[in-house]
Amino acid sequence: MLKKIINFTQEIGTIMYVGGILSHIVIGVILGHSDASTAYHVGIYKEMSAYILILPGLAIKIVSDLVLYFQYEHKPNWLKLKFLMIAFLAINAFVFLVPMMPELVTLAKESLPAGQVSQAYLDKANTEKLIGMSNVIPLILELLLGSFKPKLGSERQ
């Protein structure tokens, strides 16, 4: 029963986390930052959705993974690797991406009088985009490891 609860909790966390990330991508592609006003409003949306969806979803994933970890007497390699991936994603989120959200909003707001986004905004937005893209492979691996729980390394024998 506990494993079913853990799995359900992980799924909720994944939906919130991945859904929030996908919404960031979609709004950026659709609206972008063609002018300062759009960049400002897109920035507010991204910042709030990070606080409402992405960070709570990531926290739920981490807590449920920790509970899952303590369910195993012998820790399987897929779980160890999953923790490595989630650690990478958490560091990227809390150290780099989340602190950038208010900075981007501030830079966009400062660009409003000119009507177009500043070079400082464009540079910071490009950095945010690159760091966000670096999450793709660890996120896919983390999801695959949690879904399929493959035997890795010496466990295969």
Percent of the chain with pLDDT over 70: 100
For residues 7 and 56, the model is more confident at 56
pLDDT at 142 over 90: yes
**pLDDT tens-place string over residues 56-86:** 999 999 999 999 899 999 999 999 999 999 9
**pLDDT tens-place string over residues 76-121:** 999 999 999 999 999 999 999 999 999 999 999 999 999 999 999 9
pLDDT at 16: 97
**Structure tokens given for 76:** 């399987």
Smallest CA-to-CA distance from 119 within 56, 39, 58, 5 is with 39
Q: Is the pTM of this model over 0.85?
A: yes
pLDDT at 34: 87
**Structure tokens given for 1:** 């029963």
Tokens 């996120």 map to which residue? 139
* CA separation for the pair 107, 122 (Å, rounded): 9
